[in-house]
Amino acid sequence: MSSRAFRLATFNLENLYSRPDFWDPQRRSDQQVGNVFFEDRDEARAAKRIAEAVLSDDKCQLTALALLATRADIVALQEVDSEAALRSFRESYLKKLEGPDVAQAMRAVIFRDPPPAPDAVRRAREMAIARVNYRYLHVSEGNDRRGIDIGLLARIGWQSVTSHAALTFADLDIWPEGMDAYREGPPDDPRPVARTDRLFKRDLLQAEFIIDGRNFTLFTCHLKSMNGGRRATRVVRLAETMAIRRLIEQRFADHQGGPAAANWAIAGDMNDYYEVDGVRDLRDYHTGEPSPTALDPLLADGFAVNLMERRPAEERWTTYHPPDDVYTQLDYILVSPALAQANPHAVPEVIRQGQPFRAARHAGPRFPRIGWDRPKSSDHCPVVVELRLP
């Protein structure tokens, strides 16, 4: 017999900051606010703080609407500034929007015939709040130089959460072909990557749950961005996916049947894709050269299952990239073969109501106040799936 159903989601919140004071000398846009360019760094920073503080209210309302639309019990999050920023977002935005769900549950109790006793009403309120409130919250400080981290929100408590941000290439003995030639750092002073460097560009969180007496392990990630070019940065993401697989193999080495038979999922922003509308013969949009994916270590031999393939090919996209006018899946919930087999009818939902109107392929409804480019919930769509543990 399987466990009760629970909903698992992943959502890149796109810069959920509580302190917009980062400064990246490589990003000239950090000196620009609207269409105004500031030569003075301090002046630009002050102007950006004021502008982002004003705009963040609309953005956070729309982000909260998108997150709550998932109705998820566990949410893997990317691009979170800090635990304080996530806590503020939960208290100031999520809780305000949860009210109708609590009220609906309360009405079902209060208007019963015969009327319930005061203690029953109080217990019903506590249960209603527990069902919708994200009581459990975690953010780990990772390796991103801008300070954008990954985290978790959940209605189900975890047993433990482990960060892997400190792991190096040498720790896991991972060094893919092409790593020797890769350079990182500012364009005027690039440096080679060393085997003693930290492997994950952000982090990999490992959360252990017990749901209805069954073990479930969630791995949450946000891989290296494609800034600098998808092909040029692929080798770093390849190292990260190799590391994720290695850690899962280590975690379930003693499990009967190995990793394939265990209950686990990988949820996050992979910053890569292996198909466009079902076509896997990927080509670079600028050169026409073959453009391989970094996701092969997780998918090529069936190690993990991408449940999104159960959707029609043209409905798998989670992001829109305007310069190339391309819709791709960057946000994934990958599950073990055992979990996929136990949930043959589980099809992920993609919440697109928060997408800006420039993502014209989405012809459905949008949240109020969505703009052509902004405001928007995020440049990523939340993805959610309902699962039962065998």
Q: Rounded to whole angstroms, how far apart are CA atoms 16 and 86?
A: 8
- Selection from 53, 58, 23, 8 nearest residue 356 by Cα: 58
Instruction: Give residue-wise pLDDT tens across range 119-168.
Output: 777 776 666 666 668 999 999 999 998 889 999 999 999 999 999 999 99
CATH number at residue 239: 3.60.10.10
pTM assigned to the model: 0.91
The number of CA neighbours under 13 Å toward the Cβ of 106 is 15
Q: Is residue 1 part of a domain?
A: no
* Tokens 């991103």 -> residue: 144
Q: Please give the pLDDT value at position 274.
A: 96
Residues in Cβ contact with 362 at an 8 Å cutoff, skipping those fewer than 6 apart: 352, 355
H/E element, 75: strand 74-80
Q: Give residue 28's pLDDT band: very low, low, confident or very high (50, 70, 90).
A: low
Q: Rounded to whole angstroms, how far apart are CA atoms 133 and 95?
A: 7
Q: Rounded to whole angstroms, how far apart are CA atoms 208 and 215?
A: 7
The C-alpha torsion from 295 through 298 and 300 to 305, rounded to 10°, is: -110
Q: Is residue 181 part of a domain?
A: yes
Which residues, in sequence order, are bridge partners of residue 75?
A: 9, 153
Q: Is residue 372 part of a domain?
A: yes
Q: How many domains does the chain have?
A: 1
Q: Please give the pLDDT value at position 21.
A: 53
Q: Give residue 347's pLDDT band: very low, low, confident or very high (50, 70, 90).
A: very high
User: If DSSP codes are grouped into helix, strand and coil, which group holds residue 380?
Assistant: strand
Q: Is residue 218 part of a domain?
A: yes
Residues in Cβ contact with 297 at an 8 Å cutoff, skipping those fewer than 6 apart: 238, 241, 242, 244, 245, 303
H/E element, 184: strand 183-184
Q: Exposed, middle or buried, 136 (CB in 10 Å: 0-12/13-18/19+)?
A: middle
Q: What is the residue range of 182's domain?
A: 6-387
Q: Is residue 104 part of a domain?
A: yes
- Given a cut of 60, is residue 312 above it in pLDDT? yes
- Selection from 294, 368, 307, 384 nearest residue 339 by Cα: 307
User: Residue 358 corresponds to which tokens in the numbers above?
Assistant: 């420039």
